[in-house]
Amino acid sequence: MRIGITCFPGIGGSGIVATELGKGLAARGHDVHFIATDMPFRLEDLSANLHFHQVHLFPYPALQHPQYDLALASRLAEVIAQERLEILHVHYAIPHAISAYLARQICHHPFVTVTTLHGTDTRLVGLDPSYRPITRFGLVQSDGVTAVSQYLAEATREDFELDRTIDVLTNFVDIHRFQRRTIPPCFRENFAHQNERLIVHISNLRPVKRITDVIRAFDRIRRRLPARLVVVGEGPERVTAERLAFELEIADRVTFTGTMVAVENILSVADLFLMASEVESFGLAALEALACETPVVGYRIGGVPEVVEEGVCGMLAPVYDVEALGHAAAALLEDDDRLSAFRAAARHRAVERFSEDAGIRAYEAYYNRMLTEVASTALVV
Protein backbone atom coordinates (compact mmCIF):
# COMPACT_ATOMS: atom_id res chain seq x y z
CA MET A 1 0.00 0.00 0.00
CA ARG A 2 0.99 3.63 -0.54
CA ILE A 3 0.23 5.43 2.71
CA GLY A 4 0.46 9.05 3.81
CA ILE A 5 0.68 9.89 7.52
CA THR A 6 0.16 13.30 9.10
CA CYS A 7 0.83 14.03 12.76
CA PHE A 8 2.17 16.70 15.07
CA PRO A 9 5.95 16.24 15.03
CA GLY A 10 6.69 17.17 18.64
CA ILE A 11 7.05 15.01 21.73
CA GLY A 12 3.62 13.63 22.49
CA GLY A 13 1.76 10.35 22.39
CA SER A 14 -0.08 10.94 19.11
CA GLY A 15 3.07 11.82 17.19
CA ILE A 16 5.02 8.94 18.71
CA VAL A 17 2.34 6.39 17.84
CA ALA A 18 2.00 7.75 14.29
CA THR A 19 5.77 7.59 13.80
CA GLU A 20 6.13 4.07 15.17
CA LEU A 21 3.21 2.96 12.99
CA GLY A 22 4.81 4.45 9.88
CA LYS A 23 8.18 2.87 10.64
CA GLY A 24 6.55 -0.48 11.22
CA LEU A 25 4.51 -0.29 8.02
CA ALA A 26 7.61 0.62 6.02
CA ALA A 27 9.47 -2.33 7.52
CA ARG A 28 6.64 -4.58 6.28
CA GLY A 29 7.10 -3.34 2.69
CA HIS A 30 4.55 -0.52 2.46
CA ASP A 31 5.46 2.82 0.88
CA VAL A 32 5.02 5.36 3.71
CA HIS A 33 5.08 9.15 3.37
CA PHE A 34 5.07 11.47 6.39
CA ILE A 35 3.67 14.95 5.74
CA ALA A 36 4.37 17.37 8.61
CA THR A 37 5.97 20.70 9.47
CA ASP A 38 9.08 19.01 10.87
CA MET A 39 10.59 15.55 11.05
CA PRO A 40 8.55 13.63 13.67
CA PHE A 41 10.26 13.12 17.02
CA ARG A 42 11.05 9.40 16.70
CA LEU A 43 11.59 9.30 12.94
CA GLU A 44 15.36 8.87 13.12
CA ASP A 45 16.08 7.53 9.62
CA LEU A 46 14.44 7.49 6.21
CA SER A 47 14.67 4.63 3.74
CA ALA A 48 13.50 3.42 0.37
CA ASN A 49 10.03 2.85 1.87
CA LEU A 50 10.00 5.74 4.35
CA HIS A 51 9.76 9.34 3.15
CA PHE A 52 9.28 12.81 4.63
CA HIS A 53 7.56 15.79 2.97
CA GLN A 54 7.77 19.09 4.83
CA VAL A 55 4.88 21.51 5.17
CA HIS A 56 6.14 25.08 4.86
CA LEU A 57 4.32 27.90 6.64
CA PHE A 58 4.29 31.36 5.06
CA PRO A 59 4.29 34.22 7.57
CA TYR A 60 2.38 37.21 6.24
CA PRO A 61 1.63 40.41 8.23
CA ALA A 62 -2.05 40.50 7.29
CA LEU A 63 -2.55 37.02 8.72
CA GLN A 64 -2.45 37.11 12.51
CA HIS A 65 -1.20 33.52 12.74
CA PRO A 66 0.48 31.10 10.32
CA GLN A 67 -2.24 29.21 8.43
CA TYR A 68 -1.08 25.69 9.30
CA ASP A 69 -4.30 23.92 8.34
CA LEU A 70 -4.40 25.53 4.89
CA ALA A 71 -0.71 25.02 4.18
CA LEU A 72 -1.08 21.40 5.25
CA ALA A 73 -4.09 20.87 2.96
CA SER A 74 -2.14 22.22 0.00
CA ARG A 75 0.87 20.05 0.74
CA LEU A 76 -1.31 16.97 1.29
CA ALA A 77 -2.94 17.46 -2.10
CA GLU A 78 0.47 17.77 -3.78
CA VAL A 79 1.95 14.68 -2.15
CA ILE A 80 -1.15 12.56 -2.67
CA ALA A 81 -1.19 13.38 -6.40
CA GLN A 82 2.57 13.01 -6.89
CA GLU A 83 2.94 9.78 -4.93
CA ARG A 84 -0.43 8.28 -5.90
CA LEU A 85 -1.29 7.57 -2.27
CA GLU A 86 -4.09 5.14 -1.51
CA ILE A 87 -4.49 5.93 2.19
CA LEU A 88 -4.15 9.24 4.04
CA HIS A 89 -3.98 8.57 7.77
CA VAL A 90 -4.21 11.70 9.92
CA HIS A 91 -3.63 11.67 13.67
CA TYR A 92 -5.71 14.22 15.61
CA ALA A 93 -9.10 15.31 14.37
CA ILE A 94 -8.46 19.02 14.66
CA PRO A 95 -7.20 20.38 12.32
CA HIS A 96 -5.88 17.35 10.44
CA ALA A 97 -9.23 15.84 9.48
CA ILE A 98 -10.27 19.20 8.06
CA SER A 99 -7.02 19.54 6.10
CA ALA A 100 -7.60 16.03 4.72
CA TYR A 101 -11.10 17.03 3.62
CA LEU A 102 -9.75 20.14 1.87
CA ALA A 103 -7.03 18.09 0.19
CA ARG A 104 -9.71 15.81 -1.23
CA GLN A 105 -11.48 18.82 -2.77
CA ILE A 106 -8.22 19.95 -4.37
CA CYS A 107 -6.83 16.59 -5.49
CA HIS A 108 -8.52 14.53 -8.21
CA HIS A 109 -6.63 11.36 -7.30
CA PRO A 110 -8.91 9.07 -5.25
CA PHE A 111 -7.75 8.10 -1.77
CA VAL A 112 -9.17 6.89 1.55
CA THR A 113 -8.99 9.13 4.61
CA VAL A 114 -8.54 7.66 8.10
CA THR A 115 -8.64 9.86 11.20
CA THR A 116 -7.26 8.52 14.48
CA LEU A 117 -8.42 10.21 17.68
CA HIS A 118 -5.95 10.48 20.54
CA GLY A 119 -8.01 12.31 23.15
CA THR A 120 -7.24 16.00 23.47
CA ASP A 121 -8.54 16.57 19.95
CA THR A 122 -12.09 15.51 20.82
CA ARG A 123 -12.15 15.57 24.62
CA LEU A 124 -10.73 19.08 25.08
CA VAL A 125 -9.96 21.26 22.03
CA GLY A 126 -12.68 19.87 19.80
CA LEU A 127 -15.39 20.41 22.44
CA ASP A 128 -14.72 24.13 22.62
CA PRO A 129 -17.68 25.98 20.99
CA SER A 130 -15.25 27.60 18.56
CA TYR A 131 -14.17 24.22 17.19
CA ARG A 132 -16.98 21.76 17.90
CA PRO A 133 -18.93 22.17 14.60
CA ILE A 134 -15.86 21.87 12.39
CA THR A 135 -14.44 18.99 14.43
CA ARG A 136 -17.70 17.10 14.02
CA PHE A 137 -17.68 17.87 10.30
CA GLY A 138 -14.18 16.44 9.97
CA LEU A 139 -15.22 13.24 11.75
CA VAL A 140 -18.28 12.82 9.55
CA GLN A 141 -16.30 13.39 6.35
CA SER A 142 -13.55 10.91 7.17
CA ASP A 143 -13.91 7.53 5.48
CA GLY A 144 -12.75 5.81 8.65
CA VAL A 145 -12.36 6.97 12.24
CA THR A 146 -10.44 5.10 14.91
CA ALA A 147 -9.82 5.76 18.59
CA VAL A 148 -7.01 4.54 20.83
CA SER A 149 -9.35 3.28 23.57
CA GLN A 150 -12.92 2.15 24.06
CA TYR A 151 -13.44 5.03 26.46
CA LEU A 152 -12.44 7.58 23.81
CA ALA A 153 -14.61 6.01 21.11
CA GLU A 154 -17.72 6.05 23.29
CA ALA A 155 -17.09 9.55 24.67
CA THR A 156 -16.55 10.98 21.17
CA ARG A 157 -19.73 9.42 19.80
CA GLU A 158 -21.67 10.87 22.72
CA ASP A 159 -20.04 14.31 22.78
CA PHE A 160 -20.46 14.91 19.06
CA GLU A 161 -23.78 13.08 18.68
CA LEU A 162 -22.37 10.74 16.04
CA ASP A 163 -24.10 7.66 14.71
CA ARG A 164 -21.08 6.53 12.72
CA THR A 165 -18.73 3.72 13.69
CA ILE A 166 -15.53 4.56 15.55
CA ASP A 167 -13.27 1.53 15.57
CA VAL A 168 -10.92 0.94 18.51
CA LEU A 169 -7.31 0.31 17.53
CA THR A 170 -5.25 0.68 20.67
CA ASN A 171 -1.79 2.15 20.93
CA PHE A 172 1.08 -0.31 20.96
CA VAL A 173 4.68 -0.54 22.13
CA ASP A 174 7.91 -1.86 20.67
CA ILE A 175 8.45 -4.68 23.16
CA HIS A 176 12.03 -5.18 21.99
CA ARG A 177 13.09 -1.59 22.54
CA PHE A 178 11.02 -1.17 25.69
CA GLN A 179 12.13 -3.93 28.00
CA ARG A 180 14.04 -3.91 31.26
CA ARG A 181 17.67 -4.08 30.35
CA THR A 182 20.94 -4.17 32.23
CA ILE A 183 22.03 -0.60 32.85
CA PRO A 184 25.39 0.27 34.49
CA PRO A 185 24.82 1.04 38.20
CA CYS A 186 26.41 4.46 37.73
CA PHE A 187 23.41 5.51 35.60
CA ARG A 188 20.91 4.89 38.39
CA GLU A 189 23.23 6.52 40.88
CA ASN A 190 22.80 9.78 38.98
CA PHE A 191 19.25 9.89 40.32
CA ALA A 192 19.00 7.82 43.52
CA HIS A 193 21.08 6.05 46.13
CA GLN A 194 21.06 2.26 46.32
CA ASN A 195 18.74 2.18 49.35
CA GLU A 196 16.19 4.56 47.79
CA ARG A 197 13.20 3.80 45.58
CA LEU A 198 13.30 5.53 42.19
CA ILE A 199 10.02 6.94 40.88
CA VAL A 200 9.66 8.27 37.34
CA HIS A 201 7.16 10.53 35.62
CA ILE A 202 7.26 11.12 31.85
CA SER A 203 5.03 13.58 29.99
CA ASN A 204 4.92 16.81 28.02
CA LEU A 205 4.14 18.64 31.28
CA ARG A 206 0.92 20.23 30.06
CA PRO A 207 -1.74 21.30 32.58
CA VAL A 208 -3.82 18.14 31.96
CA LYS A 209 -0.90 16.03 33.21
CA ARG A 210 -1.21 17.69 36.64
CA ILE A 211 2.49 17.49 37.40
CA THR A 212 1.90 19.36 40.67
CA ASP A 213 -0.23 16.40 41.85
CA VAL A 214 2.73 14.15 41.03
CA ILE A 215 5.00 16.35 43.14
CA ARG A 216 2.54 16.41 46.06
CA ALA A 217 2.00 12.65 45.88
CA PHE A 218 5.75 12.10 45.89
CA ASP A 219 6.04 14.31 48.96
CA ARG A 220 3.71 11.87 50.75
CA ILE A 221 5.70 8.87 49.50
CA ARG A 222 9.08 10.14 50.66
CA ARG A 223 7.69 10.68 54.18
CA ARG A 224 7.12 6.91 54.41
CA LEU A 225 10.25 5.56 52.73
CA PRO A 226 13.52 6.78 51.15
CA ALA A 227 12.72 7.77 47.57
CA ARG A 228 13.64 10.05 44.69
CA LEU A 229 11.56 11.36 41.78
CA VAL A 230 12.73 11.90 38.20
CA VAL A 231 10.55 14.06 35.94
CA VAL A 232 11.26 13.56 32.24
CA GLY A 233 9.91 16.02 29.68
CA GLU A 234 9.43 19.68 28.88
CA GLY A 235 6.32 21.81 28.94
CA PRO A 236 4.55 24.85 30.35
CA GLU A 237 4.11 23.36 33.84
CA ARG A 238 7.78 22.65 34.49
CA VAL A 239 8.50 25.96 36.21
CA THR A 240 5.43 25.60 38.42
CA ALA A 241 6.46 22.07 39.39
CA GLU A 242 10.02 23.13 40.18
CA ARG A 243 8.73 25.96 42.35
CA LEU A 244 6.40 23.60 44.22
CA ALA A 245 9.24 21.15 44.91
CA PHE A 246 11.24 24.03 46.36
CA GLU A 247 8.32 25.18 48.53
CA LEU A 248 7.81 21.65 49.87
CA GLU A 249 11.55 21.47 50.60
CA ILE A 250 12.03 18.39 48.43
CA ALA A 251 13.85 20.03 45.52
CA ASP A 252 16.95 18.00 46.37
CA ARG A 253 14.95 14.80 45.87
CA VAL A 254 13.36 15.72 42.53
CA THR A 255 15.33 15.76 39.27
CA PHE A 256 13.99 17.44 36.14
CA THR A 257 15.84 16.00 33.13
CA GLY A 258 14.07 17.79 30.30
CA THR A 259 13.56 15.79 27.12
CA MET A 260 15.12 12.33 27.15
CA VAL A 261 15.09 10.36 23.88
CA ALA A 262 16.03 6.95 25.30
CA VAL A 263 13.37 6.86 28.04
CA GLU A 264 13.69 3.07 28.13
CA ASN A 265 16.94 3.56 30.06
CA ILE A 266 15.38 5.47 32.96
CA LEU A 267 12.39 3.11 32.95
CA SER A 268 14.76 0.15 33.23
CA VAL A 269 16.09 1.39 36.56
CA ALA A 270 12.81 2.75 37.93
CA ASP A 271 10.77 1.11 40.68
CA LEU A 272 7.51 2.87 39.82
CA PHE A 273 5.90 5.08 37.17
CA LEU A 274 3.75 7.83 38.70
CA MET A 275 1.14 9.78 36.75
CA ALA A 276 -1.73 12.11 37.69
CA SER A 277 -3.47 13.04 34.42
CA GLU A 278 -6.99 14.44 34.66
CA VAL A 279 -7.55 13.67 30.95
CA GLU A 280 -5.91 10.56 29.52
CA SER A 281 -7.48 8.62 26.70
CA PHE A 282 -4.84 5.89 26.72
CA GLY A 283 -1.51 6.59 28.42
CA LEU A 284 1.33 5.66 26.07
CA ALA A 285 4.04 6.52 28.59
CA ALA A 286 2.36 4.20 31.08
CA LEU A 287 2.40 1.40 28.51
CA GLU A 288 6.09 1.93 27.82
CA ALA A 289 6.68 1.73 31.58
CA LEU A 290 4.77 -1.56 31.81
CA ALA A 291 6.85 -2.99 28.97
CA CYS A 292 9.97 -2.18 31.02
CA GLU A 293 8.55 -4.06 34.04
CA THR A 294 7.77 -0.81 35.84
CA PRO A 295 4.38 -0.83 37.62
CA VAL A 296 2.14 2.22 37.19
CA VAL A 297 0.26 4.24 39.79
CA GLY A 298 -2.12 6.94 38.55
CA TYR A 299 -5.64 8.27 38.56
CA ARG A 300 -8.58 6.07 37.54
CA ILE A 301 -9.50 8.21 34.56
CA GLY A 302 -10.35 7.86 30.86
CA GLY A 303 -8.66 4.96 29.11
CA VAL A 304 -6.02 4.35 31.80
CA PRO A 305 -7.92 1.35 33.30
CA GLU A 306 -7.83 -0.26 29.84
CA VAL A 307 -4.02 -0.12 29.92
CA VAL A 308 -3.21 -0.62 33.61
CA GLU A 309 -4.85 -3.69 35.14
CA GLU A 310 -5.57 -2.45 38.64
CA GLY A 311 -4.25 -4.62 41.44
CA VAL A 312 -2.19 -6.68 38.99
CA CYS A 313 0.38 -4.42 37.31
CA GLY A 314 -0.52 -1.09 38.89
CA MET A 315 -2.75 0.84 41.24
CA LEU A 316 -5.33 3.52 40.43
CA ALA A 317 -6.72 6.23 42.70
CA PRO A 318 -9.76 8.52 42.42
CA VAL A 319 -8.99 11.54 40.26
CA TYR A 320 -7.63 14.58 42.19
CA ASP A 321 -7.15 12.46 45.35
CA VAL A 322 -3.46 13.15 45.91
CA GLU A 323 -3.55 11.50 49.33
CA ALA A 324 -4.85 8.23 47.86
CA LEU A 325 -2.36 8.45 44.99
CA GLY A 326 0.58 8.82 47.34
CA HIS A 327 -0.70 6.10 49.67
CA ALA A 328 -1.16 3.58 46.84
CA ALA A 329 2.36 4.22 45.54
CA ALA A 330 3.99 4.03 48.97
CA ALA A 331 2.13 0.84 49.93
CA LEU A 332 3.32 -0.88 46.75
CA LEU A 333 6.91 0.30 47.15
CA GLU A 334 6.99 -0.96 50.75
CA ASP A 335 6.02 -4.51 49.74
CA ASP A 336 8.93 -6.19 47.93
CA ASP A 337 7.05 -9.40 47.07
CA ARG A 338 4.05 -7.56 45.67
CA LEU A 339 6.25 -5.15 43.74
CA SER A 340 8.09 -8.08 42.16
CA ALA A 341 4.80 -9.71 41.14
CA PHE A 342 3.57 -6.43 39.65
CA ARG A 343 6.76 -6.11 37.63
CA ALA A 344 6.31 -9.51 36.02
CA ALA A 345 2.61 -8.83 35.35
CA ALA A 346 3.42 -5.46 33.81
CA ARG A 347 5.68 -6.97 31.18
CA HIS A 348 3.23 -9.78 30.49
CA ARG A 349 0.36 -7.35 29.89
CA ALA A 350 2.41 -5.20 27.50
CA VAL A 351 3.56 -8.22 25.48
CA GLU A 352 0.21 -10.02 25.37
CA ARG A 353 -2.11 -7.06 24.80
CA PHE A 354 -0.16 -4.21 23.22
CA SER A 355 2.72 -5.54 21.12
CA GLU A 356 3.83 -3.48 18.14
CA ASP A 357 3.49 -6.38 15.72
CA ALA A 358 -0.15 -6.95 16.64
CA GLY A 359 -0.86 -3.21 16.51
CA ILE A 360 0.57 -2.76 13.03
CA ARG A 361 -1.21 -5.84 11.71
CA ALA A 362 -4.47 -4.40 13.05
CA TYR A 363 -3.93 -1.17 11.10
CA GLU A 364 -3.04 -3.10 7.94
CA ALA A 365 -6.29 -5.04 8.21
CA TYR A 366 -8.20 -1.81 8.83
CA TYR A 367 -6.67 -0.09 5.79
CA ASN A 368 -7.58 -3.04 3.58
CA ARG A 369 -11.13 -3.07 4.91
CA MET A 370 -11.54 0.65 4.30
CA LEU A 371 -10.18 0.40 0.75
CA THR A 372 -12.69 -2.36 0.03
CA GLU A 373 -15.61 -0.52 1.61
CA VAL A 374 -14.89 2.77 -0.12
CA ALA A 375 -14.43 1.02 -3.48
CA SER A 376 -17.72 -0.82 -2.99
CA THR A 377 -19.52 2.42 -2.15
CA ALA A 378 -18.10 4.11 -5.26
CA LEU A 379 -19.35 1.25 -7.45
CA VAL A 380 -22.82 1.52 -5.96
CA VAL A 381 -22.90 5.27 -6.59
Read off the pLDDT of residues 128-165 as tens digits, 9 standing for 90 and up: 888 899 999 999 999 999 999 999 999 999 999 999 99
Give which of 198, 219, 345 is closest to 273, Cα–Cα: 198
Report the b/e string of 189-213 with b at 16+ CB within 10 A.
eebbeeebbbbbbbbbbbebbbbbb
Region 69-97: mean pLDDT is: 95
Q: Where are the beta strands (DSSP E) in 136-261?
A: 144-147, 167-168, 197-202, 227-232, 254-258
Asked if 122 and 249 sit in the same domain, the reply is: no
What type of residue sits at position 359? G
pLDDT in tens, 19-45: 999 999 999 999 999 999 998 888 878
Instruction: Note the pLDDT of residue 378.
Output: 60
Region 83-106: mean pLDDT is: 95
Asked if 156 and 15 sit in the same domain, the reply is: yes
Report the b/e string of 225-263 with b at 16+ CB within 10 A.
eebbbbbbbbbebbeebbebbeeeebeebbbbbeeeeeb
The reply to whether 286 falls in a domain is yes
Q: What confidence category does residue 10 fall into, taking pLDDT thresholds of 50, 70 and 90?
A: confident
The reply to whether 179 falls in a domain is no
pTM of the model: 0.91
Instruction: Note the pLDDT of residue 43.
Output: 85
Instruction: Note the pLDDT of residue 315.
Output: 98
Mean pLDDT of the chain, nearest integer: 93
381 CB-contact burial (10 Å; exposed 0-12 / middle 13-18 / buried 19+): exposed
Asked if 144 and 207 sit in the same domain, the reply is: no
Contacting residues for 206 by C-beta, under 8 A, at least 6 apart: 235, 236, 237
The reply to whether 99 falls in a domain is yes
pLDDT in tens, 313-340: 999 999 999 999 999 999 999 999 999 9
Q: What confidence category does residue 381 fall into, taking pLDDT thresholds of 50, 70 and 90?
A: very low
Region 58-77: mean pLDDT is: 84
pLDDT of 368 over the 80 cut: yes
The reply to whether 320 falls in a domain is yes
| Interatomic CA distance for residues 334 and 34, integer angstroms | 46
Residue 95: is the preceding peptide bond cis (ω within 30°)? yes
The reply to whether 177 falls in a domain is no
CA 274 to chain centre: 16
pLDDT of 379 over the 60 cut: no
Largest Cα–Cα distance of the chain, in whole Å? 70
Asked if 295 and 321 sit in the same domain, the reply is: yes
Asked if 300 and 367 sit in the same domain, the reply is: no
- More confident position, 119 or 217: 217
Domain residue limits at 97: 2-172+356-380
The reply to whether 362 falls in a domain is yes
Asked if 197 and 289 sit in the same domain, the reply is: yes
Helix, strand or coil, per DSSP, at residue 70: helix
Asked if 298 and 370 sit in the same domain, the reply is: no
Q: To 5 degrees, how large is the angle CA 320–CA 322–CA 328?
A: 120
Give which of 58, 92, 59 is closest to 75, Cα–Cα: 58
Region 183-201: mean pLDDT is: 92
Asked if 190 and 106 sit in the same domain, the reply is: no
Percent of the chain, pLDDT > 90?
82
CA dihedral 61, 62, 67, 71 (to 10 degrees): -90
The reply to whether 250 falls in a domain is yes
Asked if 7 and 110 sit in the same domain, the reply is: yes
Instruction: Note the pLDDT of residue 183.
Output: 86
Instruction: Note the pLDDT of residue 328.
Output: 98
Instruction: Note the pLDDT of residue 42.
Output: 81
Asked if 222 and 297 sit in the same domain, the reply is: yes
Number of structural domains found in the chain: 2
The reply to whether 178 falls in a domain is no
pLDDT of 300 over the 70 cut: yes
Asked if 298 and 190 sit in the same domain, the reply is: yes
Asked if 159 and 254 sit in the same domain, the reply is: no
Which CATH number do you get for residue 232? 3.40.50.2000
